[in-house]
Amino acid sequence: MKTIFYGDPAADSVVIQLTEADMAEEAERVASLLLKNGAAGSLCVAAAFVDGWNGDLSPWPAPPVYGKTPFAGNAENTLRRLQTELLPGIGGERRTLYLGGYSLAGLFALWAGAKTDAFAGIAAASPSVWYPDYIDYARQNPMLAPKVYLSLGNKEEKARNPVMARVGDAIRALPDIFARQGVACTLEWNEGNHFRDPDLRLAKAFKRLIEQL
């Protein structure tokens, strides 16, 4: 799994942000914002790149929402690559790890947080929690990370697409679901739609998460 590292390579804390190869500039901006304005103490930011957004980050197959490309549901393979290629190389067992992402990458982080206890916290900025059956999954599969940060733009639930418009109700349900599982969860609302300031939102998500811990 291709990964670019920023910050202090020897830091005890490592932020793993999932993104796509053609979003390298955005990943660098997130890392720069986080390291400049962000976390207390030293920090390493690892931008981990997946090959295909809809395929590699979706937890199970689902029909397309826009266009004709369906969601392939290859998240299991992506998580396996994280666990076998990235985490051993950075000494994951000896460091504090945070996993997060924006949009579908945020959904993947939430899904993965219920699959492994490797992460001290999950940061999900504008996550695609509208994804079919995700809320049922969250109820039935307890979150294993002790902390979760969620955010959403206040216009995102006004999307014209009826599937994506479910995002507001879905994200409002999650703090209670996680609380029942003994997980500390913060939900914060941002101004604007899904496409407003994604790099700022994700950097803030990681910063808030680290501050909680």
**What are the domain boundaries of the chain?**
3-212
Alpha carbons 94 and 109: distance in angstroms, whole number: 20
Give φ, ψ of 26 to 5 degrees.
-65, -40
Torsion, Cα 32 38 41 42, to 10 degrees, reads: -20
Q: Which CATH superfamily is domain 3-212 in?
A: Alpha/Beta hydrolase fold, catalytic domain (3.40.50.1820)
Per-residue pLDDT tens digits for 36-78: 865 556 899 999 999 999 999 999 999 999 888 899 999 999 9
CA–CA distance, 78 with 83 (Å, rounded to integer):
9
Q: Which residues of 84-110 are buried (b: 16+ CB within 10 A; e: fewer)?
A: eebbeebebeeebbbbbbbbbbbbbbb
**Three-class secondary structure of residue 193 per DSSP:** coil
Rounded CA gap, 148 and 101, in Å? 12
Is the predicted pLDDT of residue 118 greater than 90, yes or no?
yes
Chain-wide mean pLDDT for the chain?
A: 94
For the residues 208-212, what does the mean pLDDT come to?
Answer: 89
Question: What's the CA gap between 175 and 129, in Å, rounded?
Answer: 13
Using CA atoms, how far apart are residues 173 and 165, in angstroms rounded to an integer? 14
Rounded average pLDDT over 132-143: 98
Q: What value, to the nearest 5°, has the Cα angle with vertex 65 and ends 116 and 18? A: 35
pTM to 2 decimal places = 0.96
Q: For residues 5 and 91, is the Cβ–Cβ distance under 8 A?
A: no
pLDDT at residue 41 in the model:
62
Q: In whole angstroms, what is the distance from residue 3 CA to residue 142 CA?
A: 29
Please say whether the beta carbons of 149 and 208 come within 8 A. Answer: yes
- Per-residue confidence (pLDDT) for residue 39, from 0 to 100: 55
Look at residue 122 and tell me whether its pLDDT is greater than 70. Answer: yes
- The Cα–Cα gap between 106 and 206 comes to 11
